[in-house]
Amino acid sequence: MRLIKEGKAKMVEEKKRQREENKLMKEAIKAQKAEQKKYAKEKDEWESGKHALRSIVAEIDSTIIETGSVGGTLLTRFAEKGLKYRVQVNPIRGSILWKMEVPQIGQDPASVSEVPYILFVLQAEEFCDLINSGSFWDHVHLVQDRYPTFTVCFVTNKLMNYINKCERAQYRNAPNFNSWKRPPVEEVLCKLATHHVKVHSRQCADEAEVADHIVGLTSSLANCRFRKPLSWLSVHANGAVIPKNFIDKDLAKKDTWMKALIAIPKVQPRFALAIWKKYSTMRSLLKVYMDSTKTVREKELLLQDLKCEDRVGDESRRLGPVCSRRVYRTLMAEDGAVEADAAAE
């Protein structure tokens, strides 16, 4: 009897120990899942760009802060927007660079990546001196050689104000003001736009505009890598002109397929609506276009008999062969660089 009691006690103790172990194991699994969920959520937030403004850091060359009158206003704007910056000595004088710093998330280590953009803040006198001395284009080539994949931007402060001031002073004191020569700034700025790839310029009227431009650019650089890339159709669809009397304005703005149809040149919104009613998705229309049992002519004229609403609202007008052929040749064009009008011919 004593042995039986001891055996029962051991069994009870064993079961109790197993229950405790199972409980601890479930709690550990639950905590692990919660940690994984938290890690996945945090990772998704960083990858979606929700914390983009927290991760970008502007590296400002110390000469921008130490010389000129831009530095104080610029740092104040950065502080107001809660953006991070570092004042340091950059490889090229007067430049601003950007980096994206992502902290360690779970098992993923912290990472730092360069933003392929460099900006130069030039005071008006400095910019004019570079042009008059003939060293401005050498400076542009130096920057492009050091940062070949970067977009370059030259921001000038009070440029035209400075030139006008010098011209007035030269006019009033002509005998004593022969040393100053007006630089061909308009020609230089035009040549920057027409002869150089990924080189921009921006003229600012005062220090506040310079600071606002740089702070706004910082926000755009942080967010741009997380935006959905635009296609040719989406760019043109966003700028498509939708008549005021068009009934389904919300549909034209929200439905991607409808926007793509409206983006095709010379396809009116009411024609696009008629196509959308018959083929509610691009896939449904492409499925017919890809049907090997149909001839090219049949596919080109597939949409010609669709009825669209006239100005009164009656569905009495056909799309016609021209519109049908235009939609087919645009969507099935093999050369992506061909113009829409050329594709429809």
Amino acid at residue number 99: K
Element (H, E) at 55: helix 52-55
Q: Are residues 151 and 291 both part of a single domain?
A: no
- Smallest CA-to-CA distance from 331 within 309, 305, 299, 306 is with 299
Q: With a cut of 50, list the residues of the chain below it in pLDDT.
A: 239
Q: Are residues 213 and 284 both part of a single domain?
A: no
pLDDT at 144: 92
Domain membership flag for residue 129: yes
For 225, the 3-state DSSP assignment is coil
pLDDT at 194: 84
Rounded Cα–Cα distance for residues 126 and 313 (Å): 64
Rounded Cα–Cα distance for residues 3 and 163 (Å): 108
Tell me the per-residue pLDDT of 75-94, one tens digit each, with 9 for 90 and over. 999 999 999 999 999 999 99
pLDDT at 265: 83
pLDDT at 171: 76
- Say how many domains are in the chain: 3
Domain membership flag for residue 73: yes
Domain membership flag for residue 237: no
Q: Are residues 202 and 276 both part of a single domain?
A: no
Q: Are 140 and 107 in contact (CB under 8 A)?
A: no
Q: Are 258 and 273 in contact (CB under 8 A)?
A: yes
Residue with tokens 């959520």: 41
pLDDT at 166: 85
Query: CATH number, domain at 67?
Result: 3.40.50.10130
Domain membership flag for residue 235: no
Query: CATH number, domain at 272?
Result: 1.10.150.670
Residue with tokens 């890809």: 290
Q: Are residues 131 and 116 both part of a single domain?
A: yes
The encoded tokens of residue 204 equal: 């600012």
Domain membership flag for residue 238: no
* DSSP conformation class of 247: S
Measured in degrees and rounded to the nearest 5, phi and psi for residue 122 equal -120, 125
- Smallest CA-to-CA distance from 256 within 282, 285, 290 is with 282
Q: Are residues 201 and 308 both part of a single domain?
A: no
Domain membership flag for residue 62: yes
Domain membership flag for residue 335: no
Q: Are residues 174 and 264 both part of a single domain?
A: no
Domain membership flag for residue 233: no
Q: Are residues 290 and 206 both part of a single domain?
A: no
Q: Are residues 15 and 55 both part of a single domain?
A: no
pLDDT at 57: 92
Q: Are residues 33 and 97 both part of a single domain?
A: no
Q: Are residues 102 and 58 both part of a single domain?
A: yes
Q: Are residues 27 and 57 both part of a single domain?
A: no
Give residue 292's domain range: 246-330
- Choose one of 223, 238, 270: the last residue of a domain: 223
Rounded Cα–Cα distance for residues 128 and 145 (Å): 23
The encoded tokens of residue 344 equal: 């429809």
Q: Are residues 173 and 205 both part of a single domain?
A: yes
Rounded Cα–Cα distance for residues 146 and 92 (Å): 9
